Amino acid sequence: MLAEIWIKPSILFMQISTNGLILFDTDDEFQSYTVSCFPRVSRPYLPLVAPLWADFNFRDSGTIFYRLVSDSGTLDAVADVISNLNSNYMDFRPTLAVIVTWFQSELLRSEVKVSL
């Protein structure tokens, strides 16, 4: 894990993984790269987001940037994206968002640089 962020203790614990996962749980099941599929039989409701699930090598290059945002412009944009993706969340109004960037990260056994 690269970073651990506590947001309102006991309500949300977030881990940002060097393997492109964002976990919302204290479980460290995915601290190392795994080729297992989601959902797991053992944890079918594991709360995570996998925007860039891959096997990265951060030994020589790459950085993970993250920031918590609460400005109204960003939160309005997030609300628009969520409500456009799912009509069940038309009234969704976030109070906090997390922006994560895996910057110039090298895939293990590869010379390809990836930024997301």
Residue 34's domain spans which residues? 3-114
Which of 7-11, 12-16, 109-113 has the least mean pLDDT? 7-11
Q: Is the pLDDT of residue 109 over 80?
A: no
The residue ranking higher by pLDDT, 31 or 102, is 102
Location of structure tokens 């989601």: 38
Q: Do 82 and 76 contact (CB within 8 A), yes or no?
A: no
**Band of residue 84 on the pLDDT scale cut at 50, 70, 90:** very high
Measure the CA–CA gap between 7 and 79, rounded to whole angstroms. Answer: 20
Residue whose C-alpha is closest to residue 96's, from 65, 70, 66: 70
pLDDT in tens, 14-72: 788 888 888 876 555 555 555 566 666 666 667 778 888 777 778 888 888 999 899 99
**Band of residue 1 on the pLDDT scale cut at 50, 70, 90:** very low
Q: For residue 113, count other CB atoms closer than 10 A to its CB.
A: 12
Q: DSSP secondary-structure letter at 89?
A: G
The one-letter amino acid code at 49 reads V
Q: Do 64 and 100 contact (CB within 8 A), yes or no?
A: yes
The residue ranking higher by pLDDT, 97 or 40, is 97
